Amino acid sequence: MRTTSRTWIANPAAAWTSDDNADCRGGIVVEGKRIVECVPGGHTPADYSERFDARGLVLLPGLVNCHHHFYQTLTRALPAAQNKELFAWLSALYPVWAGMDEDCVGSATELALAELLLSGCTTASDHHYLFASAFENAIDIQVETARRMGVRVVLTRGSMSLGQSSGGLPPDHVVQSEQAILDDCQRVASAYHERGDDAMVQIALAPCSPFSVTAELMRESAKLARAHGLRLHTHLAETEDENAFCLEHVGRRPLEYLADLDWLGDDVWLAHGIHFTAEEIAQLGTAGVGICHCPSSNMILASGLCSTLDLEAAGSPVGLGVDGSASNDHSNLIQEVRQAFLLQRLKYGSEKIAVTDALRWATSGGARVLGRPSLGSLRPGALADIALFDLDALRFSGAGDPLAALVTCGADRARHVMVNGQWRVVDGEIPGLDMGALVARHGKAARRLQLG
């Protein structure tokens, strides 16, 4: 006897599956936490107990955000950090971020996850690398918040150990000792990392960058991650300044440095990945290293253009990330799909980049980057993480192709979002979340942090 409902999400205006072999024009059937059937156009499933009317809505796999810094929602559009490139931007913000407390992390995490959910994002990876001396339980706070909100997350325990007095970029008062870092990585991995393809909370290890940790910490992080079956993440090749910094301080380009530290493998993904040579792109592809393209951040900081198609052709999976709100100033992943589409057309030309390329990066590409093959597609057996968008706004009027309109006309908010078979956004709202109270609490924390 069946104990779970079998819901037919019926007859969407358009359905993009990310799987060329799946025909979901008639919708999908969800049972428990899985998609159990793709319904071809004009057909009705043989067995369903509930019907959800998706007429007029565009059906997508839940979007996957591969790189974020939740805490940075507290420093959006900060005057001291305006009109700067990466290193100067970081130098302006490190002293502000050093004042974070537990309330800051909790408010920022909840607000960022709410933003992401409302944009159709069902899986989010956060890179939290700044642990102020007043508290060290940021990951614990994030786990509790994500579980309460029902969002699937990959939380990376970031780290910085190389302060300015030792030749690093961050101030000394925002770095930790290597032993403290490794001990806490061990702790959070043991406490929170879930295995299995339906995991809701996973942990990865993520030294901030080659210019903020030592070579020894990079090596030990890789050893610890692989001993526990965790993935590895860091920033790399974001700017030419980074290349110059690495050449000056370690005598090698960033990718060569990573290779020396045993950081090239299909369990690694890198944020940004802009300034690679053709030979380095081939090396990344051979190793299967994933790349998270962060288009808005790369434009705001004038960092450059990621070579997405070249990376994919070489063998590297490519996903999308909204990056930190201090360099992007929003946590809206469906808008990032449009940004990726436009920026990559600027790089490769209008005949080589279609809206489906940007959607692929935001769904199945991101799932591959995070090592989660059961996410990012609409097919039988995939987890029931989906997003439905309406086309009722003025910007969509007159559109001939609903799927193309979703991207080119600038969708910014999902109508309904399901995570793991549970509705987490209904009619454009998050059930049970007092948005006004959240914004007030978050705004108060931001003002306190910015005023010091």
CA distance 138 to 2: 41
* Statement to judge: residues 233 and 115 lie in one domain: yes
| pLDDT band with cut points at 50, 70 and 90 for residue 210 | confident
Judge if 154 and 285 occupy the same domain.
Answer: yes
Check whether residue 359 and residue 265 sit in a common domain. Answer: yes
Unique residue bearing structure tokens 């040579």: 277
In a domain, 274, yes or no: yes
Q: Looking at the structure, do residues 191 and 249 belong to the same domain, yes or no?
A: yes
Residue 81 maps to which CATH number?
3.20.20.140
Can you give the pLDDT at residue 166?
A: 85
User: Is 416 part of a structural domain of the chain?
Assistant: yes
In a domain, 294, yes or no: yes
Cut 0.95: pTM above it: yes
Instruction: Give φ, ψ of 391 to 5 degrees.
Output: -120, 40
| pLDDT reading at 291 higher than 60 | yes
pLDDT at 133 over 70: no
User: 43 with 54, same domain?
Assistant: yes
Q: Among 217, 238, 208, which residue's Cα sits nearest to residue 131?
A: 208
Structure confidence at residue 48 (pLDDT)? 96
pLDDT over 60 at 2, yes or no = no
Same domain, 142 and 203: yes
236 strand-pairing partners: 272
User: Do 421 and 309 belong together in one domain?
Assistant: no
Total number of domains constituting the chain = 2
Render pLDDT for 338-388 as a digit per residue (tens, 0 to 9).
999 999 999 999 999 999 999 999 999 999 999 999 999 999 999 999 999
Residue 157 placed within a domain: yes
Asked if residue 318 belongs to a domain, the reply is: yes
Examine the domain organization and report whether 219 and 323 are in the same domain: yes
71: CB partners within 8 A, 6+ apart:
97, 100, 104, 105, 108, 109, 128, 130, 138, 324
396 in any annotated domain: yes
Does pLDDT of 36 surpass 50? yes
- Share the mean pLDDT of the chain: 95
Are residues 38 and 74 located together in one domain of the fold? no
* pLDDT above 60 (res 1): no
- Summarised one tens digit per residue, pLDDT across range 300-346 is 999 999 999 999 999 999 999 999 988 899 999 999 999 999 999 99
Model pLDDT, residue 91: 87
Across the range 222-237, mean pLDDT stands at 97
According to DSSP H, which parts of 364-422 are helical?
366-369, 402-408
What is the average per-residue pLDDT within 221-237?
97
441 and 108 Cβ atoms separated by less than 8 Å = no
Task: Report the percentage of the chain scoring pLDDT > 90.
Answer: 87
Using one digit for the tens of pLDDT, what is the confidence trace for 413-425? 999 999 999 999 9
How do residues 39-64 score in pLDDT, each as one tens digit?
Answer: 999 999 989 999 999 999 999 999 99
Give the rounded distance of the alpha carbon of 265 from its chain centre.
Answer: 20
Provide the residue range defining the domain that includes 36.
6-61+382-425
In a domain, 1, yes or no: no
* DSSP annotation string for 186-220: HHHHHHHPPPSTT-SEEEEEEE--TTTS-HHHHHH
